[in-house]
Amino acid sequence: MADKQLWVKICHWANAILCIVLIITGLHMQYSGSEYTFIPFNVSIVLHNICGALLILSYIGFIIGNIKSRNIKNYKIRMVELTKDIWVQIHYYAFGIFKREKEPFPVDANREFNPLQKFTYVLVMFICIPIMIITGLAMGFPELIAGHTFGNVGFFLTDILHVTVGFIISIFLMIHIYFAYFHGFSKEN
């Protein structure tokens, strides 16, 4: 929407850029020593930690901004959205968009997201990102969190959860970028 608040745009782009850098540096740490890495391991760690700290600050800004501006109402999911409406939207994305059918839930003054967008944004922003933050902090300070909670196995389980949720966020970003590009392109033609 053209009248979207500036803080929403700043948080959106900050989160996107930080997540992309975190994904790249995370992959470099995961596959360090491989011929496919182009960032040294130690540099990846420093960049990953800095971007992780910045993501925490951006996320805090996102939460405070949503509460203060009442933008949080855009993330409230109704039961019909979890049943019928999401399937209508999935059908549109799988078939209708390629046939240039009319959007079933167009964005307007009362609706910022379609039901599937709302569901995935809630999943990513209110479930996945907090898990990433908690697991990232746990791995950064294993003696304070994971070590006391689960013992030696705790770090491994924390790492698996961190990587798995990172993979989910990576897929979300790829789909998000694809539809942002495709939708922008299809509306111009």
* Distance in angstroms (rounded) separating the CA atoms of residues 115 and 16: 21
User: Coil, strand, or helix at residue 66?
Assistant: helix
| Residue 139, pLDDT above cutoff 60 | yes
Tell me what the pLDDT averaged over the chain comes to.
Answer: 85
Q: Could you tell me the CA-to-CA distances from 55 to 12, 22, 24, 44, 120 in Å, in that order?
A: 11, 9, 15, 16, 19
Confidence category of residue 133, pLDDT binned at 50, 70, 90: very high
**What are the residues whose beta carbons fall under 8 Å from the beta carbon of 142, sequence distance 6 or more?**
154, 155, 158
User: Which pTM value belongs to this model?
Assistant: 0.83
State pLDDT tens for residues 54-104. Answer: 999 999 999 998 888 888 888 888 887 788 899 999 999 899 988 989 999
The distance of Cα 25 from the centroid of its chain, to the nearest Å, equals 16
